[in-house]
Amino acid sequence: MGKGQSVIQYFEASFKTSNRFRRLMLICTLIVLIAGFSSDAQQSLTLNIKDVYQYARNNYPLINQRGLIIKAAEFTVSNAAKGYFPMLSVNGQATYQSTVTSFPFTLPLPGFSVPKYGKDQYKIYGQIDQVIYDGGMIGNQKQMAKTTAKIQEQSLEVDLYQLYDRVNQLFFGVILLNEQLKQNELVLRDIQNGIDKAKALVANGVAYRSSVDELMAQKLQTEQARVELKATRKAYMEMLSQFINLALNENTVFEKPISPVLTGEFNRPELLLYNYQQNIYDDQKSLLNAQLRPRFFFFLQGGYARPGLNMLSNDFAWYYIGGLKLSWNLGSLYTYGNQKKILEINKTMIDLQKETFLFNMGLIQKQQQIFISKFTELLKNDEAIIKLRESVKKASAAQLENGVLSAHDYISVVNAEDQARQNFILHQIQMLQEQYNYQNTMGNTIN
């Protein structure tokens, strides 16, 4: 391949100048390369904790409720707004009266005939009512629909927020197992190094074969531990895969998170939910006030009746009538005071729930702060212990090579250093997980 020549250009040139067999080989090679590129692309999945949070939210079935809540709120607000539309009603009645209007004179008057009304009367009519002033009823109904939708959406957010604790357990579980596998590989190298040195001593006649056998047995035990670690990691990854709806395998890269900046301010979604719940009681109070106000309408009525509007005629006749109408229901005054007290009690109960929630979260916060401080101190000691154990291991490796240290003692030294490193790994991941749990407790997980 010439300088500056691309892979595709190289294959095109070779394809034109080669015989049939070489062309076939070039096609196969190209297919293998494309498959390799595709495989590398599939295996390059990298996950960080924030991405996993978002994948888990988007994949959780409950998230589909958000669209339904929004649609329901839109329909409810639309229905309330239609209260401003003209209202059409059709009515009819047929009655029989015990008496009807009669005139006190019986003598005929010049140019005037006395009508005689029937005791059976009929009326069918349609009426249009158009609201002019409703006292704020429709506006309050629309506002209550919007606030109710906010409560439902925020309640959904509270449910979704519970996912983060479960994601933390799985994600940091995989991170811990990955680190333990790395440490397991280092231990295997140390043991193999000891085996190589013990074999050399056996070959020179300064050590027994049992030393090699003991190191080989320890290597097998370490490999068994590796099998268990991989199986546990696979189980964690399968559960996490179900949460985020992504295929995960051994080649998936899990980015080890950095320590977050911890703050003492609560931003939990429950707090906003409590605020919305109090707002709905404010809306209900406004609705109570609106019910006390008068309502004004314009109306138009038209129909067919006997008698009609002409009281001097007993014939069927068409008629219409229009004008303004006042409606003022004062019956709600009887319960107004008690209803207001009930709303205030409900708001106080929400305040108590919010106060209780913050109290409980405060206890968890203090406990997590203590755990984070504990792991910080433990890590300092772990680092010092590892340095000492590493120094002892180097000296023991030299002693084993010179035949002045038994394989059993060397294994003990290697295991001691391994335990020190395992403790460091465990404490480091535990502190990271506790820090992110703290973030979750404070409500800063997705910030």
CATH number at residue 143: 1.20.1600.10
Instruction: Say if 338 falls within a structural domain.
Output: yes
Instruction: Say if 6 falls within a structural domain.
Output: no
Provide mean pLDDT across the span 395-420: 87
Least confident of 14-18, 86-90, 324-328, 335-339: 14-18
Separation of alpha carbons 62 and 69, rounded Å: 12
What are 357's two structure tokens?
A: 């929630």
| Predicted local confidence at residue 13, as pLDDT | 56
Instruction: Say if 183 falls within a structural domain.
Output: yes
Provide mean pLDDT across the span 115-125: 85
Residue 407, pLDDT above cutoff 90: no
**Domain assignment of residue 220, given as a range:** 47-84+135-294+330-442
Tens-digit pLDDT profile for residues 79-93: 888 888 888 999 999
The answer for residues whose C-beta is within 8 angstroms of residue 206's C-beta and 6 or more apart is 403
- Select the highest-mean-pLDDT range: 63-67, 409-413, 436-440: 436-440
pLDDT band of residue 37 (cuts 50, 70, 90) is very low
Among residues of the chain, what percentage have pLDDT more than 70?
86
- The domain tally of the chain equals 1
Instruction: Say if 208 falls within a structural domain.
Output: yes
Find the length of the chain. Answer: 447
pLDDT band of residue 156 (cuts 50, 70, 90) is very high
pLDDT band of residue 105 (cuts 50, 70, 90) is low
Instruction: Say if 117 falls within a structural domain.
Output: no
Tens-digit pLDDT profile for residues 223-269: 999 999 999 999 999 999 998 999 998 889 999 998 888 888 899 99
The answer for residues whose C-beta is within 8 angstroms of residue 330's C-beta and 6 or more apart is 292
Provide mean pLDDT across the span 137-151: 91
| Predicted local confidence at residue 38, as pLDDT | 45
What are 350's two structure tokens?
A: 């929400």
pLDDT band of residue 204 (cuts 50, 70, 90) is confident
Residue-wise burial string across 121-154, b where 16 or more C-beta atoms lie within 10 A, e elsewhere: bebebebebebeebbebbbbbbbbbbbbbbbbbb
Cis geometry, peptide bond prior to residue 108 (ω within 30 degrees of 0)? no
- The 3-state DSSP composition of the chain as helix, strand, coil percent (nearest 5) reads 65, 10, 20
Residue 17, pLDDT above cutoff 80: no
Among residues of the chain, what percentage have pLDDT more than 90?
47
Instruction: Say if 276 falls within a structural domain.
Output: yes
Tens-digit pLDDT profile for residues 414-447: 999 999 999 999 999 999 999 999 999 998 876 5
Residue 6, pLDDT above cutoff 80: no
| Predicted local confidence at residue 12, as pLDDT | 54
Cα atoms in the 13 Å half-sphere on the side-chain side of 340: 11
Tens-digit pLDDT profile for residues 301-314: 999 998 888 877 88
| Predicted local confidence at residue 20, as pLDDT | 54
Residue 14, pLDDT above cutoff 70: no
Instruction: Say if 57 falls within a structural domain.
Output: yes
- Asked if residues 440 and 432 have their Cβ atoms less than 8 Å apart, the reply is no
User: What DSSP element (H or E) covers 179?
Assistant: helix 163-203
Instruction: Say if 90 falls within a structural domain.
Output: no
Mean of all residue pLDDT scores within the chain: 85
